[in-house]
Structure 1
């Protein structure tokens, strides 16, 4: 089946305290976004990448794509007002019945096995949303108080959130709601069941400066193991 990966990279970098958007920060001499794109291009030789960027950063995206093996499989489009609208713009370029991955551009440590696991489950169940068990104690706010939650029942959601195109594309034709926090919530609002799959603790999102330090260490360790 055909494969499309919608990579959303519209961050501004405000929480990083940096004028450079986090997807373009350097990680071991390469932009964070380079690693994300590279993993998807290596996962499947027939996978098409749809890279969603702010209009002012399209040229940067083209420069990165030109440095990647398989970079000719990357198509760039521009984002919208919210993540929902950016994903919606990317999905407009899904032109065939397919499996569609939607991934955060700054989850740059995504592994090829995780991508392939999501693909294989989506073929069988229609969706695959990676998730990891919570390791910290969890409390739920309840009015003026709070209560302990059973962390064994808590899952932290990651990307790539992966769906058959006949599920996700129609879901993103419904009217936007503030309750849409990710692709899974959009798909559920359209009346579809969503299935989780095992994620990876290394599949972190680069949000704060410390995340970049952690990512550098992980990349170094992976390089030594090659």
Structure 2
């Protein structure tokens, strides 16, 4: 029979595992061996209720399919003018110069009353209450002095999640949030017996192939060559009799 390969590093990992789990059965130990030998770190993709062999495999698959993130452009308008060329009437705070236009605010008169009553620079009081004094102008030339040229819109490249549709400033931010909210680690030993989630096809084929009786026997036969595993191998063989 062909023996499976267990190098010195893997041997040390198995010894340490069995020292920590003195009553570990054969299959549990075998799954630990597979995890370390093939660097398997199963993850559950919560949105699709599917278990993948590793986070890297899942991320690579989604990126190849264009489902993890998408690059897009957004236009950012920098501020709205308080006064523009179409403004006919303005309300001005005498303490700070803040202005409200009749066509840029839905309720400019209410807004100016509210503003001066709370303005931190308004020190004028009558009977302990802040005065609600303000200026009004309908003079076109006066109004022109308050018109400011609006800055051009900014075009920015951002990234949208192919899973949630949310926007992020970078691809890495999309990936970080995906890992945090959409992925859950799963122990390999728990994968074959679960029935709540689907197992990704390639991962399922791998598990089925590794659970072949001949491969498990090769694993036991290889461990039996080392005196350090003698006690565990003996217990496993007795349990299977």
For this structure pair, what is the TM-score category when the shorter chain's length is used for normalisation? under 0.3
Say which structure is richer in strand: 1
> Normalised by the size of structure 1, how large is the TM-score?
0.20
Q: Which has the larger radius of gyration?
A: 2
* More RCO (CA 8 Å, sep 6+): 2
> Normalised by the size of structure 2, how large is the TM-score?
0.19
